[in-house]
């Protein structure tokens, strides 16, 4: 089966072509991404109307590039299924991709399946070149850290997901962005803090890991963000210059506090739910320290571990195409362009 995937949930216009062979081998033939990060950076976050305008301007060009790289000359003859993100995401951005996908499906008489963007992130683990789908055993515990989402998802089978823990306020990615702004680093904050933290001493300014000792599997990051704010306020009040080293030390402490609760709760949940594997996914899964520490913790526990290749950690259409394949296998009857609507607030039950 050949799937055309379309992703416009936030600030990346992405289209991919993916093949799944009879033996379940997955081949990404193209995965084109047009990022708007530089346009939104001056605003310190994504502006929905601007994102929608850029998607509309770029989506035809991205499609042409994806088809060319994949060697697809005729969608009608060479593509079996179209998959598009229908939520969660920014409404103005989602509607551009959905309208475009509907037009393609109608024009070429193709089934169209709506894809849950967050399930796409989870399935990004299947895109690893070393991933052996035949060896997968359920249940799988997924630590999903992307955009406004910080969630622990128990996957009991393909297309069977259960939410067992989530953030009660800020997501970890949002906290990274906000603390980066406090430190004057810019946007997006995750990569900037991670890089700065490499030069820092995490013990110089200890910061708390909220809810790390709570018995549930929920998270909270508003308190950590506030602690960083108060730390910076107190330093300024004592006339201490916020030089590069102090900023690096604060970044290191913040990153340690933010990640420690993720790792500890993931391991505890894996034990409680008898997980047969631990998966990491989402944009924050690109964080090198998180990848290293969670892998080490899973290995120490004796549980198989997977994380996406760096190319698939951010928003991309290859993961949407693959998630579309699994959704179509589960229920092909609903793959109709006439009935697909966006769901900006889509979430796990």
Do 2-125+312-339 and 136-307 share a fold?
A: yes
| pLDDT for the residue numbered 88 | 96
Residue 144 annotated in ligand binding = yes
Q: Which CATH superfamily does the domain covering 2-125+312-339 fall into?
A: ATPase, nucleotide binding domain (3.30.420.40)
Q: Where exactly are the structural domains of the chain?
A: 2-125+312-339, 136-307
The angle formed by the CA atoms of residues 52, 318 and 155, to the nearest 5 degrees, is 105
Q: Residue 241 burial by CB count (10 A; 0-12/13-18/19+): exposed, middle or buried?
A: exposed
Is residue 145 annotated as involved in ligand binding? yes
Question: Tell me, what DSSP letter sits at residue 280?
Answer: E
State which H helix or E strand residue 164 sits in.
strand 160-166
200 belongs to an annotated ligand binding site = no
* Six token digits for residue 256: 């340690």
If DSSP codes are grouped into helix, strand and coil, which group holds residue 190? Answer: helix
DSSP state of 116: E
The CATH code of the domain at 136-307 is 3.30.420.40
Beta carbons within 10 angstroms of residue 334's beta carbon: 14
Per-residue b or e along 199-237, where b marks 16 or more CB atoms closer than 10 Å to that residue's CB: ebebeebebebbbeeeeebbbbbebbbebbeebbeeeee
Measured CA to CA in angstroms, residue 101 lies from 27, 28, 132, 207 at distances of 22, 19, 31, 46
**CA 36 from centre of chain:** 16
Interhelix angle 244-272/172-182, nearest 10 degrees:
170
How far apart are the C-alpha atoms of 188 and 174, rounded to whole Å? 9
Q: 121 labelled as ligand-binding?
A: yes
Taking alpha carbons only, the member of 71, 72, 70, 100 closest to residue 85 is: 100
Q: Where are the beta strands (DSSP E) in the chain?
A: 2-7, 12-20, 26-35, 81-87, 112-116, 140-146, 149-157, 160-166, 277-281, 305-306
To the question of whether residue 44 is assigned a binding role by annotation, the answer is no
71 assigned to a ligand binding site: no
- Provide the pLDDT for residue 207: 96
pTM: 0.95
**114 among annotated binding-site residues:** no
Q: What is the number of residues in the chain?
A: 349
Query: How far apart, in whole angstroms, are the C-alpha atoms of residue 91 and residue 343?
Result: 8
287 is in an annotated binding site: yes
Compute the distance between CA of residue 67 and CA of residue 46 in angstroms, rounded to an integer: 28
* 144 touches 36 (CB < 8 A): no
Q: How far apart are CA 103 and CA 325, in angstroms?
A: 20
User: Would you call 15 helix, strand, or coil by DSSP?
Assistant: strand
| 349 residues of the chain, pLDDT tens digit each | 999 999 999 999 999 999 999 988 999 999 999 998 888 888 888 898 999 999 999 999 999 999 999 999 999 999 999 999 999 999 999 999 999 999 999 999 999 999 999 999 999 999 987 777 778 899 999 999 998 899 999 999 999 999 999 999 999 999 999 999 999 999 889 999 999 999 999 999 999 999 999 999 999 999 999 999 999 999 999 988 889 999 999 999 999 999 999 999 999 999 999 999 999 999 999 999 999 999 999 999 999 999 999 999 999 999 999 999 999 999 887 788 989 999 999 998 6
For residue 117, say whether it is annotated as part of any ligand binding site: yes
């Amino acid at each position: 089966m050949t799937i055309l995937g379309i992703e416009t949930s936030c600030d990346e216009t992405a289209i991919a072509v993916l093949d799944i062979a009879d033996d379940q081998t997955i081949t990404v033939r193209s995965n084109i991404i047009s990022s708007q990060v530089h346009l939104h950076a001056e605003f310190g976050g994504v502006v929905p109307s601007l994102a929608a305008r850029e998607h509309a301007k770029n989506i035809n060009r991205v499609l042409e590039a994806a088809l060319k790289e994949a060697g697809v000359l005729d969608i009608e003859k060479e593509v079996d299924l179209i998959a598009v993100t229908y939520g969660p995401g920014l409404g103005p951005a989602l509607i551009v991709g959905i309208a475009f996908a509907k037009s393609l499906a109608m024009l070429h008489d193709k089934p169209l399946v709506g894809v849950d963007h967050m399930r796409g992130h989870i399935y990004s683990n299947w895109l690893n070149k070393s991933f052996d789908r035949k060896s997968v055993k359920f249940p799988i515990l997924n630590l999903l850290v992307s955009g406004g989402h910080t969630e622990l998802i128990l996957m009991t089978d393909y297309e069977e997901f259960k939410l067992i823990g989530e953030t009660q306020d800020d997501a970890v990615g949002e906290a990274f962005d906000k603390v980066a702004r406090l430190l004057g680093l810019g946007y997006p904050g995750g990569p900037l803090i991670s890089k700065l933290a490499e030069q820092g001493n995490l013990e110089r300014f200890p910061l708390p890991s909220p809810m790390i000792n709570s018995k549930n599997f929920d998270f909270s990051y508003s308190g950590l963000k506030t602690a960083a704010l108060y730390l910076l306020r107190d330093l300024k009040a004592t006339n201490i210059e916020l030089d590069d080293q102090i900023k690096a030390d604060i970044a290191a402490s913040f990153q340690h506090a933010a990640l420690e609760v993720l790792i500890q709760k993931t391991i505890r949940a894996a034990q409680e739910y008898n997980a047969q594997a631990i998966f990491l996914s989402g944009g924050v899964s690109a964080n090198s320290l998180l990848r290293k520490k969670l892998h080490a913790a899973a290995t120490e526990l004796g549980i198989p571990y997977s994380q996406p290749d760096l190319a698939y950690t951010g928003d991309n259409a290859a993961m949407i195409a693959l998630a579309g394949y699994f959704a179509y296998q589960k229920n092909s009857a609903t793959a109709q362009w006439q009935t697909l609507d966006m769901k900006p607030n889509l979430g796990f039950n």
